């Protein structure tokens, strides 16, 4: 099939590469000429495991191309994906300006039937606005061309996006058009062979499904962080509690890990956007507000533990930080817990020596060059001259360190484990003070 995708960000690039990988002829469009030039030269602007290989392979096969020429891309396609950003507006709603700009561009150049697919995370009712924007442009050209608008939300996890795209849990298609549904089923047939993954519904239900999924996952995380804070106060270990409740199949083990708060491009933005959608329809979604409030408070937990350990005297201290990205296997630092922690440490007069396997360049872009931040080439280097160590991102490379070596390197040996990846007894047996999230003992040290 001939596919065009507007947007070469996270969703657009992964979707384009994976759809091309099964034999489709894919053109990805972006207004950023420099970005398109880099992509056509084989440079990938984001870190995502497997993405560089799949893009390279399909560029070589000439099934994947990048362009700034919207008109040719529209003329090329049977199916046109809109996968541009929907950043949060000042009121928390999703900013649809980029989506509607693409819709108007489609209307200005469409010359035959096509299926227009909303892949971006958009407010409920956006498909109607996209349809209207295209229709207005067609009317201005005095053209009577049929088209359908479909909602097909993405469910890609950063760090597993290529795998999620090639082997999806579900493929949600929102449409009432038999013609459009037939096209979408044909497109997704290679991803749907093992068992039926397509879930058909109306457009508005599909639009809400994406928000509901992310809000549910964010709710589970905030709930566990609430339980962790209770566990700390009553002397319980949240990790044992997690195993106890996760064994209940009605609850399960996924997304019940306490920690230093969620971040990234999706959960914070989507929870706030869904809350705004509810308000705009006269409903106060109180639970969503509390999910976000709990998460915001949880991002201060690591600093609270560090300040308590040092009696508030952090001026002149050097803190080693392992992990800057909001989660492993990505370089994305959007709303990452590390950003809050670093700002708090700096405000208290501390210096940070930080290491992340992939996010160093992103950290340098965000923070610039400053005397109280050293971005280190490896985890061991981050320990040089440090008083204590903080784990913010649970990269696999951090899971089994040499605690005796860490003790020898730290001036005031203490580990603040923001993801509960270490056994407190092993750490303390090595002569290092241990602070975790909801581990019961931390509050009483």
Any idea which residues carry the catalytic annotation?
266
In angstroms, the CA 308 to CA 424 distance is 18
Total count of residues recorded for the chain: 445
* Half-sphere exposure (Cβ direction) of 57: Cα atoms closer than 13 Å: 13
For residues 255-269, b (16+ Cβ closer than 10 Å) or e, as one string?
Answer: ebbbbbbbbbbbbbb
Short-list 347, 365, 364, 421, CA closest to 389: 421
Element of type H or E holding 433: strand 433-435
Q: Which of 173, 216, 210 lies closest to 192, judged by CA?
A: 173
DSSP tag of 6: E
User: According to DSSP H, which parts of 22-153 are helical?
Assistant: 33-40, 51-60, 70-76, 97-109, 126-140
Q: Which single residue is written with the structure tokens 């082997």?
A: 167
Angle at 104 between CA 98 and CA 107, to 5 degrees: 145
Measure the CA–CA gap between 244 and 27, rounded to whole angstroms. Answer: 49
């Amino acid at each position: 099939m001939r596919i065009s995708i507007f947007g070469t960000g996270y969703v657009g690039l992964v979707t384009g590469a994976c759809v091309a990988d099964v034999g489709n002829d894919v053109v990805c469009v972006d207004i950023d000429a420099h970005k398109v030039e880099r992509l056509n030269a084989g440079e990938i602007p984001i870190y995502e495991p497997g993405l560089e290989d799949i893009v390279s392979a399909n560029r070589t096969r000439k099934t994947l191309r990048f362009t700034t020429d919207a008109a040719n891309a529209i003329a090329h396609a049977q199916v046109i994906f809109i996968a541009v950003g929907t950043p949060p507006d000042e009121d928390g709603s999703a900013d649809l300006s980029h989506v509607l700009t693409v819709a108007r561009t489609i209307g200005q150049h469409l010359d035959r039937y096509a299926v227009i697919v909303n892949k971006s995370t958009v407010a409920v009712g956006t498909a109607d606005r996209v349809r209207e924007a295209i229709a207005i442009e067609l009317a201005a050209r005095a053209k009577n061309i049929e088209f359908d608008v479909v909602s097909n939300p993405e469910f890609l996890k950063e760090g597993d996006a290529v795998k999620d795209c090639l082997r999806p849990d579900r493929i949600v298609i929102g449409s009432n058009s038999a013609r459009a549904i037939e096209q979408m089923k044909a497109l997704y047939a290679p991803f749907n062979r093992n068992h039926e993954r397509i879930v058909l519904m109306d457009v508005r239900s599909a639009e809400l499904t994406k928000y509901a999924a992310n809000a549910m996952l964010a709710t589970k995380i905030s709930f566990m962080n609430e339980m962790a804070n209770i566990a700390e106060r009553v002397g319980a270990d949240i990790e044992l509690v997690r195993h106890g409740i996760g064994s209940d199949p009605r609850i399960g083990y996924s997304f019940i890990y306490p920690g230093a708060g969620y971040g990234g491009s999706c959960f914070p933005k989507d929870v706030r956007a869904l809350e705004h959608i509810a308000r705009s329809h006269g409903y106060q979604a109180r639970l969503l507000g509390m999910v976000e409030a709990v998460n915001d408070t949880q991002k201060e937990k690591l600093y609270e533990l560090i300040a308590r350990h040092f009696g508030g005297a952090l001026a002149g201290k050097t803190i080693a930080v392992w992990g800057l990205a909001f989660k492993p296997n990505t370089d994305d630092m959007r709303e990452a817990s590390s950003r809050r922690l670093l700002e708090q440490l700096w405000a208290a007069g501390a210096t940070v020596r930080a290491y992340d396997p992939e996010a160093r360049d992103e950290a340098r872009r965000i923070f610039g060059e400053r005397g109280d931040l050293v971005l280190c080439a490896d985890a061991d280097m981050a320990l040089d001259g440090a008083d204590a160590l903080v784990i913010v991102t649970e990269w696999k490379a951090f899971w089994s360190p040499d605690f005796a070596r860490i003790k020898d390197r730290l001036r005031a040996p203490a580990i603040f484990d923001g993801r509960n990846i270490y056994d407190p007894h092993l750490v303390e047996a090595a002569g290092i003070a241990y602070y975790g999230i909801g581990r019961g003992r931390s509050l009483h040290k």
